[in-house]
Chains A and B, each alone.
Chain A
Amino acid sequence: MTEIIVAEPVAVFTGVGKSFVAGKRRVEALRGVSARLRAGCVTGLIGPDGAGKTTLMRLLAGLLKPDAGEIHVLGQDVIGEPLRVQQSLGYMPQRFGLYEDLSVQENLDLYADLQCVAHAARPERYAELMHMTGLAPFTHRLAGQLSGGMKQKLGLACALVRSPKLLLLDEPTAGVDPVSRRELWEIVYRQVEQAGMSVLFSTAYLDEAERCDDLLLLHQGQLLGQGKPAEFSSRMQGRIFNVSNGSESRRRLQQQLVQQESVLDALIQGEAVRLVMHEGRSPQGEVWAKGLKIEQAAPRFEDAFVAMLGGVGAIAPEAVHAAATVTAKNGPVIEVADLSRNFGEFQAVKSIGFHVERGEVFGLLGANGAGKSTTFRMLCGLLPASSGSLTVAGMNLRDAPASARSRIGYMSQRFSLYGTLSVLENLRFFSSVYGLSGKGRRARIDWAFERFDLHDIADTASDDLSLGYKQRLAMAAALLHEPDILFLDEPTSGVDPLARREFWQRINLLAEQGVTVLVTTHFMEEAEYCDRLVIMAEGSILASGTPQAIKQTAAATGEKVATMEDAFIALIQREAA
């Protein structure tokens, strides 16, 4: 590859600081960030939720004024001359920013007017954009009636209508299905290659970092590093291993390995457990490594990211959990057959069927709008089914008595906490809702504090908690009444990679104790952590089985399948064909 020498960076920020007042707290969104964005390439802005990615984007677009520091974009001072910068800027905010009651064409017209694109130049540009995004057949459809992926592509088309010099994309792939994600990346790269555009692309998906030419790593408002993806991962060379053993379950193996002091991170991947070792350590020669099949693996950006943030501590298994006393009856705990749900004309769930065994971690995998949440709400008895049958622990929760419902725990997508109540008050409230009182209640609240390490934040209002802590508290609340079935709806959405790892450790421990866990997710790699799963798209089940079986099914299509995401895309393409 020939290195293009670029004299001028496309954006320069020096010592940029920005803070906001949120409620009573002052949040430092960015602290002393200095960096240069290279021209003519895709720079990834990587960081967990709340790292300051959106603030940085808005500062570049001239939508915020920094408290400290200077920002120059395309040679102009953004703070002083925002309008001039905005003339050569394309910006796509996190929430589409489309007018949902305007059609695709009307949205394009609006942005062409706002960018003062000459009428004569429009037909050609429109045709190009519509062809590129695949939206040509839908120009008269209202933007609100497009799928999530198509909305993102339209948003991108609107930002590109005048072929900007710098394109700012704020988490354009969040919650978008893997196929659309790949398409979005292709469009972005075409702009860079053909029009010489510079792109800043923020994302919470660590696997997307590898697609960027350059990376900015943000964490808690600070720049942890800048460099090419390979520069980050090469630091991890020799510290990554795939470990497997024939007999034991992957989950138990992962649990064991993550407790070892020389291990920084352990993740289930495929049939093996992927280890990130502490610097200078190797599994060879460790006592616990005896009898395990160990292979060195190529490092990824994610390994470097976790290592830079210090890894996750292991959670010790509980000695005795009351739920473990559930008599281990065999047979399915959840059974779904021919289940459908219509909203008017729209069929959200199309006669699906699956079953879940006791103590299983069962995943519902799919992009936003695939019908996961609808299925979930029917299972929890929150939404009546249009047709079909479903039983949870032998009953239909829709007409089950409260006593039966007390056997399930539910954690909703938005965590459903009372924002103005403190952590302790939330736990007290939820325990009383589940009918706990007196000594039993006190014991369970103590358990939650101990187990989820909430002591330091007992008196903090839950609105003021970080997303990771909110998730912990929500999970604690869902477990107060010791349910033997746990429903988790997108529990890790928007939560940073470290908190997600910790969360999955807890789920694994629960499953070991005999709790049946049903979880929805749109993170494809999380599918690997499930015992079995179904992949949903547009209301139907595309495949079901163990992660390995699903990959094999997908591989039968002839595509090269290495990850769950590959499998997902292969299955979608087979469905479309």
Chain B
Amino acid sequence: MISGMRMRGLMRKEFLQIWRDPSSIAIAFVLPVLLLFIFGYGVSLDAKHVPIALVVEQQDAATASFTGAFRKLDYFAPLPFANMRDAEEAMREGEVEAILHLKSDFGRTIFQPGGAPAQLIVNGVNANTARLISGYATGVWATWLQQYAALNARSFNVPVMVQSRVWFNSELKSRNYLVPGLIAVIMTLIGALLTALVVSREWERGTMESLMATPVSMSEILLGKIIPYFLLGTGGMLLSVAMAVWLFGVPLHGSFFLLFGVASLFLLVALGMGLLISTVAKNQFVASQIALVVTFLPAFLLSGFIFEIASMPQVVQFITHIIPARYFVALLHTLFMAGNIWSVIVPNTLALAIMALFFMGLVWRISRKRLD
């Protein structure tokens, strides 16, 4: 039986402790804001002002127009080089990330069958940037070709023309998918890490023992932890959404209430994991280590928050299915950037619901009001 008086007492105690303990404040408020700033402003997976060497063997109208197209865009910072040897040297020294080489017959052969060759050499050390540069360069090339042809009222002898369009994140800003994904990380932090820490602290300091000797029931003890940290986690989520939308200008195409609903579900999963960890590890150090390895790192690395799951090795892809954050990140990306796509929302929400039931059920099953 749950008594209102006892629940109020337990929850008031919990909030006072959160408020007075600097480490709770740090995990619940400081760390989320810090992460949001780092990922909102600092980390960018976009290519912007990438230094690129231009080697033009024969200057003419066509090459001038073509290099002009590169100069116009934010993506590149073109630097002219007199010959290939200098450009290659610059690439070796890391001054430029790519070389665009236009042969002397570029202007002459451009309207001939077979077209004009343009060589692009990309520094492949950072595979991600390399892929972006070659993608952008191809895009610039295709756009320029069309415009140049229209301008000269000529047509090219190209069999297939790729017309690419970017959907959902049309500006291709990495921030737009990093910041929503971060909400999963922040909620894991509050739900699992902080909860595991505070419960194991009660074991460590012996307060759990005196709590258990009172007529409080185990359900009351568990609810007395779940409710405060659920509220705290919701606070963290609202803060993140607010910062995402108003500070970083991330569009929220889907329904806010839907977002709130799935976030609450994920929070229950995280809380369940946190409580489970603290029933196994009864001191703070072990609890924090387990929470970091089992909840935080997977939410960071295996959830699709930064690294695309589809491009992971098969085995790792398989493992991601047991990472709750994976389903939540998919929901976040969809709700923020694509909208209410039910075919994505339904299965992922279902997965979260099953996990929430599983972890909470397990916690209730194995938590006994006893010390042995």
Contacts and interface: CB of A to CB of B under 8 A. Distances in A.
Interface of A: 20, 58, 61-65, 82-84, 86-87, 89, 91-102, 106, 109-116, 142, 155, 158-159, 168
Given A58-B371, A96-B206, A102 B214 contact: no
A113 B8 contact: yes
Interface string B1-18: 001011011101100110
A97 B371 contact: no
Given A86-B215, A101-B16, A113 B209 contact: no
Nearest to B13: A110
Given A63-B370, A102-B16, A110-B9, A89 B206 contact: no
A552 B206 CA distance: 42
Given A87-B215, A95-B206, A113-B12, 19 more contacts: A62-B370, A63-B209, A63-B369, A65-B372, A83-B215, A86-B213, A91-B213, A93-B206, A95-B209, A99-B207, A101-B20, A102-B20, A113-B8, A113-B10, A114-B211, A114-B214, A115-B214, A115-B215, A116-B3
B215 A116 contact: yes
A277 to B, nearest CB: 43
Contacts of A102: 13, 16-17, 20
B230 to A, nearest CB: 20
B13 A93 contact: no
Q: Which 6 A-B pairs have the closest CB atoms?
A: A113-B9, A97-B210, A91-B213, A95-B206, A114-B214, A87-B215
Interface string B208-241: 0111111111000000000000000000000000
A113 B370 contact: no
B205 interface: yes
Given A63-B370, A83-B217, A114-B6, A97 B207 contact: yes
Contact of A93 (B20, B213, B369, B372): B213
A100 B205 contact: yes
Nearest to A93: B209
B371 A64 contact: yes
B6 A65 contact: no
B17 A94 contact: no
A389 B233 CA distance: 54
B370 to A, nearest CB: 6
Given A64-B371, A86-B213, A93-B206, A114 B9 contact: yes
B16 A106 contact: yes
Nearest to A61: B213
A233 B205 CA distance: 38
Contact of B213 (A63, A95, A110, A113): A63
A158 B9 CA distance: 14
A101 B213 contact: no
Contacts of B6: 113-114, 116
A450 to B, nearest CB: 39
A168 B21 CA distance: 31
Contacts of A111: 214
Contact of A95 (B13, B21, B205, B214): B205
A168 B213 CA distance: 10
A84 B6 CA distance: 15
Contact of A94 (B206, B216, B369): B206
B92 to A, nearest CB: 53
Nearest to A142: B20
23 contacts: A58-B371, A61-B212, A63-B369, A63-B371, A83-B217, A86-B213, A91-B210, A93-B206, A95-B209, A96-B206, A96-B210, A97-B209, A101-B21, A102-B16, A106-B13, A110-B12, A110-B13, A112-B9, A113-B6, A113-B8, A113-B9, A114-B214, A114-B216
A116 B8 CA distance: 11
Contacts of B205: 95, 97, 100
Contact of B210 (A64, A82, A93, A116): A93
A113 B7 CA distance: 8
Contacts of A95: 205-206, 209
Contacts of A114: 6, 9-10, 211, 214-216
Given A20-B372, A82-B369, A97-B207, A109 B213 contact: no
A99 B17 contact: yes
B81 to A, nearest CB: 63
A62 B372 CA distance: 11
A116 B217 CA distance: 13
A98 to B, nearest CB: 7
Nearest to B369: A82
A93 B209 CA distance: 7
B352 to A, nearest CB: 34
Contacts of A63: 209, 212-213, 369-371
A65 B369 CA distance: 10
A87 B16 CA distance: 26
Given A58-B371, A63-B370, A116-B6, A101 B17 contact: yes
A367 B49 CA distance: 69
Interface string B176-209: 0000000000000000000000000000011101
Nearest to A86: B215
A359 to B, nearest CB: 43
A87 B350 CA distance: 42
A96 B5 CA distance: 23
Contacts of B5: 113, 116
Contact of B207 (A65, A84, A98): A98
A64, A101, A159 pick with most chain B CB within 10 angstroms: A101
A86 B5 CA distance: 17
A159 to B, nearest CB: 8
Nearest to B210: A97
A384 B372 CA distance: 43
A84 B12 CA distance: 25
A97 B209 CA distance: 7
Contacts of B212: 61, 63
Contacts of A91: 210, 213-214
Nearest to A103: B16
A65 B370 contact: yes
A116 to B, nearest CB: 5
A82 B210 CA distance: 14
A113 B369 CA distance: 18
Residue with the greatest number of chain A CB neighbours at <10 A, chosen from B20, B210, B216: B210
B304 to A, nearest CB: 38
A183 B142 CA distance: 90
Given A61-B213, A64-B370, A99 B206 contact: no
A91 B206 CA distance: 12
B32 to A, nearest CB: 22
B213 A89 contact: yes
A92 B17 contact: no
Nearest to B221: A114
A116 B5 CA distance: 6
Given A20-B372, A93-B210, A115-B215, A109 B20 contact: no
Interface in B1-52: 3, 5-6, 8-10, 12-13, 16-17, 20-21
Contacts of B371: 58, 63-64
Contacts of B209: 58, 63, 93, 95, 97
A97 B207 CA distance: 4
Nearest to A18: B372
B310 to A, nearest CB: 46
Contacts of B216: 114
